[in-house]
Amino acid sequence: MSQITTGMAAQYSDSSKLAARARLSRDFSRAETPWFTWVARQLPIGPDATILDVGCGPAWFWSEAVAALPSGTALTLLDQSRGMVDEALERCRPLPFASLAGVTADAAQLPFPDGAFDAVIAMHMLYHVADQEKAIAEFHRVLRPGGIMLATTNGIDNMRELYRLTTVFGSGPIDPSAAAFGFDRAEQLMRDRFGNATLSVHPQQMRVTDPEVVYLALTSYPPGSDAPADQQEAFRAVIDAAFAAGGGALDVTKQVGVIVSRKSA
């Protein structure tokens, strides 16, 4: 089991560590349509849909996406972290949903009957799940015939200019999320279960001008978060060297996308 599928309780007891990583994209990614709005537009649903958000985290998505979705959505927020579910519910309560529920559960064992939802979304979470096939089978089970599964994840070249710096921690030079559930694997597993899967990549650029934000993002999870002081210092040194070589900024490749499957009617 890789480090990305372990240590979830420490990583996601609340949104603070996730926020350190989200800050990189929030402050330094540029796109014509912001990520969450763009994702919402990839979700082919009509009014009065029932949606399950698996691994909802703090529900930052919904604050932005609710404006881009049809009215009447009945939303169920699910996460294995109780702290995340509580934060997600608090964020979503003022938003105009037809109904709102929060559930603490595992993605691979969903406490819902067959065919309960029009759409299941799993944004940047399946790379944490040890048995991804089982989770996707569960998403398929709880969808009604004709229902939609939407997953988001990263491509293998995502932020390669930054991940190659993490080799000082003994990590591989690639995005660990993409190594565990990249575009190819996501498409393959979803096609295996649903018989169809379509990948769309979000057009965006990243130019980072603050080395400290890079340091905080990439030491917000293991092994960087648990690395000894000499490795942390070495990490700061390679970040500073990369920024110096780039004249004070780093142009970073972004590969982030959505995979959509439809359950046969």
Give me the residues that bind ligand SAM (CB under 6 A), please. Answer: 8, 12, 18, 54-57, 60-61, 79-81, 84, 106-107, 123-125, 128-129
We find the least distance from the C-beta atom of residue 249 to ligand SAM, in angstroms, to be 26
We find the least distance from the C-beta atom of residue 228 to ligand SAM, in angstroms, to be 26
Residue found under tokens 């969903």: 110
The nearer residue to ligand SAM, 66 or 168, going by C-beta atoms, is 66
We find the least distance from the C-beta atom of residue 5 to ligand SAM, in angstroms, to be 8
We find the least distance from the C-beta atom of residue 241 to ligand SAM, in angstroms, to be 29
We find the least distance from the C-beta atom of residue 151 to ligand SAM, in angstroms, to be 10
Name residue 120's beta-bridge partners.
Answer: 52, 149
Question: In 10 A of CB 170, how many CB atoms?
Answer: 9
Residues 6 or more apart whose Cβ sits within 8 Å of residue 224: 166, 169, 171, 218, 232, 235
Give the start-end residues of each E strand in the chain: 29-30, 50-54, 74-79, 99-104, 117-123, 143-154, 198-201, 205-208, 250-252, 256-262
Order of all β-strands in the sheet with 99-104: 99-104, 74-79, 50-54, 117-123, 143-154, 256-262, 198-201
Phi, psi of 245 (to 5 degrees): -65, -30
The nearer residue to ligand SAM, 57 or 102, going by C-beta atoms, is 57
We find the least distance from the C-beta atom of residue 216 to ligand SAM, in angstroms, to be 16
The nearer residue to ligand SAM, 120 or 168, going by C-beta atoms, is 120
Tokens of residue 131, six digits: 């048995």
We find the least distance from the C-beta atom of residue 83 to ligand SAM, in angstroms, to be 9
Residues 6 or more apart whose Cβ sits within 8 Å of residue 232: 219, 224
Name residue 102's beta-bridge partners.
Answer: 77
The nearer residue to ligand SAM, 128 or 202, going by C-beta atoms, is 128
Name residue 119's beta-bridge partners.
Answer: 51, 148
The nearer residue to ligand SAM, 39 or 168, going by C-beta atoms, is 39
The nearer residue to ligand SAM, 109 or 209, going by C-beta atoms, is 109
Residues 6 or more apart whose Cβ sits within 8 Å of residue 236: 211, 215
Q: Are 74 and 31 in contact (CB under 8 A)?
A: no
The nearer residue to ligand SAM, 12 or 117, going by C-beta atoms, is 12
Which residue has the CB atom at the shortest distance from ligand SAM?
57
The nearer residue to ligand SAM, 171 or 211, going by C-beta atoms, is 171
Order of all β-strands in the sheet with 205-208: 29-30, 205-208, 250-252
We find the least distance from the C-beta atom of residue 244 to ligand SAM, in angstroms, to be 31
